[in-house]
Structure formats: C-alpha cells, structure tokens
Amino acid sequence: MEFGIFSQMHVPPGEDEHSRFMREVDVAIATDAAGFKYNWAPEHHFLENYSHQPAPEVFLSFIAARAPRIHVGHAICNITAPVNHPARVAERIATLDHLTEGRVEFGTGRGSSSAEWGGFAIPDAPLTKEMWQESLEQIPRMWEEGPYEFEGRFFRMPNRNVLPKPFSKPNPPMWLACSSPGTFALAGELGLGALCFVNGTMDDVRPLVKSYKDAIAKCRKPVGGFVNDNIAVTSQMFCLEDGDEARHHFSKAKTGKFLEFFFKWLDSVPRPKGMPQSGPVSIPEPTVEALEQRTKAGGYMIGSPDEVAASIQRYEELGVDQLIYAPLTMVMDQKLVLKSVETFGKHVLPRFDKDPVHRTTRQREAALASRAA
C-alpha cells in the first residue's frame, strides 16, 4: 500500500486564496518528509470555494522543486481539446517529466461539472467523453512519433514534431479519473491506473475495485506504453496519538460544508443513495461517534495510529494499491494538520509501505525489461 495527498485548493468562505496556496505547499513538503509518495492536484475551473486549482502544471512544478522524492500527479488534467489542446498537454507533461527526472503521474479526465465544460463552450457532458477518448489515444503518439500529424473530429495537427519527448521510457504513468462503475472497467481495459473518486464506504468501493482488477488483468494492449495496474482511492485521514482528540478536532472541521460545495458543483458525479439527485444539499458535520463508527466500518480514517491502521488494512485486503488523503478540504489549524501528517508518517505509514521505490516506477521498469528480453 502506498500513500498520497490531494492538493485540492479548497478555499472556505472567509479565507483567502494566497494563504491556502501557501498552506498546500507546506503540507506537500511535510508529506514528502513523512514518506508519502504522491502529491496529486486536480484541474478545476470556475468552481468557487470548492477548488481554486486551475493550473496544476504550475503548482506541481513548484512542489516538485521543493519536495525531492514525491511524485507529482495530475488528478486530473482535462484533456478535452477545447480546454487543453492535446499537443500542449503532451508538451507540458513531457517538460515536467524531464525537470523531475521521471516523477510525473499523468492522470486524465474530461471534467465533472457543467460549469467547467460549459465555460469552454462544450455543449454537453456526453461529448466530453468522445473528446477525452480522442485526445487520450493521440497523446502517446505525439510522444513516440516525430513528425506527427492527425485529422480528427475535435482537433487537427498538421505535420509537426511535438517536443520534448518524455524523459520516462516508454512514457509517464497514465491514469483515469473514475466515479461511475463503467469507468473503472474502462480504465482497466485501457491499461490505465484508476483514480477512484467515490464518496462512500468500503462496501461501495469493493465492487469497483473488483471491476477494475478483473479488467486490467486481461489488458494486453494498453493505450500507453505499459500497463499501469494501480487503483488509488481517495478518503479522509486525520491521525493523532489520542484518537478521541483526533475525532474531536475533525468533527469541528466543516467537512460537511466542503461536501456541500462538492455536490453543488460536480453535477456529473453520481450522488449516494438517499440524497436528492439534483439541487442543493445540506450535510451535517459528523459527530465524534459517527467518525468512530465510520473508521471501524471503512471509509474515513480518523483516530489514533492503531485505529487508522486497522481501517487501512481492510483497504489493503480489498486490493487497493494507494490511498489518497486531502488534508486541507476542511477548516483546521495548520499546526494540527501538520501534526497529523507527522504522526501518520511516524506510526502508520511504515507498517504498510516498505518499498522505497514507487509502484509505477516498478511497473514501468518491468515493462522495459520484458521488452528487452
């Protein structure tokens, strides 16, 4: 099991963007020191309060320069042509791959909000899937071929050599954002890592993990240069040596308010059963008792090192390869956030992640060795 963080750039009402950016940087540096292997950043546009992170390539390059071991991941880069021309995506990913000497994780997607795709004059959600598919197939070609040309439905490229070519061979690890059941199987069929963005319990995640693992086991022709057999699940973690203290602080962190922003903006993400399927929602803050129960059942990981580790163990047994936490999708004193990172890194992380090399690096190297043989 490996661990990452999600640099969401959530800006709660009453706080300012600049302080939040600087806090995200501080947390990223702390997680690198604590042994976390990945720092993921989304790409979102126009989503007030929920995420002020429209330029992950800029943010992640800044993090990579200050955190020397961590892999920097796009979760996701919107590769629909009206938002980001595929050639520009290929150029930026390859450039960052060189500057980090192979520490880039290329997560792809098509956006989760009508506010976003509508802001770029894309008329509807189904069209974004077709745009994503076209770009996904072409970006590896741009990395491999020189010169390259393409006449497609959503973009065209005259005969050009797209430069630079990636530092990583055959290419940086490729991922897909997944929230609906069919997308998990699709990620596996294409040989992509699955970034699981599902608000639910372990029981909700279990069939999705199985669907992905069944599909990727059969993948023989990945869309990228190698099969990235990897499923990463997002969750919440807050770990202090005193579990009751951890739950007390987390229960007052306005995580319910963050989820309200989530459901307000991300109107293409399926809502849990029992929740209104459209319109605004009101989500109460979790009680201390609810946090304890949810940690025991799987879902959140809030409590002492032993309590958090017990929850992680269940995910490991499920076949999850990475857990991603979002330390700043709440209102919390920065000292407590950093204390949680330090506590987790000292008492929990070493129990599960004993390999100093990243899983994506191992898989890439194995694919190259297999080719050479």
What pLDDT is recorded for position 167? Answer: 98
Amino acid at 16: D
The whole-number pLDDT of residue 297 equals 85
Q: What pTM value is reported for the model?
A: 0.96
What is the model's pLDDT at position 180?
Answer: 84
For residue 74, pLDDT over 90 is answered with yes
Identify each DSSP E strand in the chain by its residue range.
Answer: 2-6, 38-41, 71-78, 104-109, 148-151, 156-160, 174-178, 193-196, 231-239, 300-303, 322-325
**How many helices and strands in the chain, by DSSP H and E?**
14, 11
pLDDT of residue 331: 98
Beta strands in 36-129, from DSSP E residues, in sequence order: 38-41, 71-78, 104-109
Residue ranges of E strands in 167-291: 174-178, 193-196, 231-239
> What's residue 277's pLDDT?
83
Residue the block writes with tokens 């050479």: 372
Query: How far apart are the C-alpha atoms of 158 and 329, rounded to whole Å?
Result: 43
| Tokens (6 digits) for 100 | 């980090």
Tell me the average pLDDT of the chain.
Answer: 96
Of 193, 80, 189, 194, the closest CA to residue 134 belongs to 80
- 2-372: what CATH class? alpha beta
Among residues 267, 277, 237, the alpha carbon closest in space to that of 255 is found at 237
Q: Is 31:344 a contact under the CB 8 Å cutoff?
A: no
- Cα separation, 310 vs 180, in Å, equals 27
Range with the poorest average pLDDT among 168-177, 238-247, 276-285, 309-318: 276-285
Write the pLDDT tens digit of every residue in 163-172. 999 999 999 9
Stretch 199-206: mean pLDDT: 85
pLDDT in tens, 134-150: 999 999 999 999 999 99
CB-CB neighbours of 67 under 10 Å: 21
For residue 340, pLDDT over 90 is answered with yes
Long-range own/partner contacts, residues 23-27 (CB < 8 A, 24 or more apart): 23/328, 23/334, 23/337, 24/59, 24/328, 25/62, 25/63, 25/66, 26/334, 26/338, 27/327, 27/328, 27/337, 27/338, 27/341
Amino acid 201: pLDDT: 82
Q: Are the CB atoms for 340 and 328 separated by under 8 Å?
A: no
Average pLDDT over residues 351-361: 97
Structure tokens at 61: 């390059």
Task: Say if residue 14 is exposed, middle or buried (CB neighbours under 10 Å; 0-12, 13-18, 19+).
Answer: exposed
Residue pair 139/74 in contact by the 8 Å Cβ criterion? no
Burial of 203 (0-12, 13-18, 19+ CB in 10 A): exposed
Q: Are strands 2-6 and 322-325 parallel, antiparallel or unpaired?
A: parallel
User: Using omega within 30 degrees of 0 as the cis cutoff, is the peptide bond preceding 76 cis?
Assistant: yes
Amino acid at site 199: N
Structure tokens at 268: 């293409």
- State mean pLDDT over 184-195: 98
Tokens of residue 267, six digits: 């109107």
Q: What is the pLDDT of residue 39?
A: 98
Q: Please check whether residue 201 is in contact with residue 182, taking contact to mean a CB–CB distance below 8 angstroms.
A: no
